[in-house]
Amino acid sequence: MKVNKLKDKVAIVTGAAGGIGSEIASLFDKDGALLVLADINSDGLARLASKLSREPLLVQCDITKKESIKNLMESAVTKFGRVDILVNNAGIITPGLFEDSKYEDIERQVDINLMGAIYCTREVIPLMKASGGGNIVTISSLAGIAPETYSAIYTATKYALRGFDLTLRVELKKHNIYVSTIFPDSVDTPMLKYEASHGGSPLTFLNLPVSPAVVAKAVRRAVIKRKVELYVPYSQGIASKIIICFPWVIPFLWPILEKKGAKKKEQF
């Protein structure tokens, strides 16, 4: 008989009202996890909760604010007594050339994509240590392996998350805390549609977008198998890792790929 390793595990999912977050929540719910769903969008959380088999704990949370994150963790422990899994899923992108970037857009991407994940991770570690271990999974992007034009700050935050997670993977193993990073290519979400109509990188549209459900399955696999990194799809991840070994190629290759991606972007 197959053992359900997520049954009754307490899982926090940030950005839960979004496309990927809602799929992670739905999949974990089917696996019997006890869910703590966090998002700044309380109406979106309520809609998601109505579709789940068990009532989750809903916490309106702004991950750019430390006090809001502390409240999230305290609420989870008050309700369930512990935290077994943290999924750092919340993220945004403001596409466009860096030279045209507004400072508020730069800061917002860094605050949500990078600092939010760092703050959530920092607050959950003592809780996991107290309960004997856990899993921390962060949604990065293939832009965290190979750079994405028209998304310099987004790329920077996703690169940083990879370094952060790999470091913690080493540091936290002694506490039985396993840190994993997921690197999706383009995902068919409202954010991708926003990119298509607001100056997003043509590189994002080179390949057919994967569904949020595929990313959710990668998150589950990362938890169960304690994977260091997972790429969605796998082939694109490997290709990106190979290309980045030869950075001198990028200034010559990327314009060619952009032209190809631009056509697909128009079709999308």
The tens digit of pLDDT for each residue in 17-51 reads 999 999 999 999 999 999 999 999 999 999 999 99
Mind listing the pLDDT tens digit for each residue in 226-262?
999 999 999 999 999 999 999 999 999 999 988 888 8
Question: Across residues 70-81, what is the average pLDDT?
Answer: 98
Domain count across the chain:
1
Domain residue limits at 248? 10-267
Average pLDDT, rounded, for the chain: 95
Q: What is the pLDDT of residue 193?
A: 84
Strand order in the sheet with 34-39: 57-60, 34-39, 10-14, 85-88, 134-139, 177-184, 229-232
Closest CA to 31 of 13, 45, 43: 13
Q: Which range among 64-68, 86-90, 190-194 shows the weakest confidence by mean pLDDT?
A: 190-194
Token pair recorded at residue 58: 């809903």
Q: Which residues are bridge partners to 135 per DSSP?
A: 85, 178
Does any domain span residue 4?
no
Token pair recorded at residue 192: 């991708």
Q: What is the pLDDT of residue 1?
A: 36
Does any domain span residue 5?
no
C-alpha torsion angle, residues 65, 9, 17, 192 (rounded to 10): 100
Catalytic residues: 154
Does any domain span residue 1?
no
Mind listing the pLDDT tens digit for each residue in 182-205?
999 999 888 888 888 888 898 898
Does any domain span residue 263?
yes
Q: CATH number for the domain including 143?
A: 3.40.50.720
Does any domain span residue 3?
no
Token pair recorded at residue 57: 């704990």
- Of the chain, the end-to-end C-alpha distance in Å amounts to 44
Q: Please list, residue by residue across 174-183, b when 16 or more beta carbons sit within 10 angstroms of its beta carbon and e when fewer do.
A: eeebbbbbbb
Of residues 91 and 264, more confidently modeled: 91
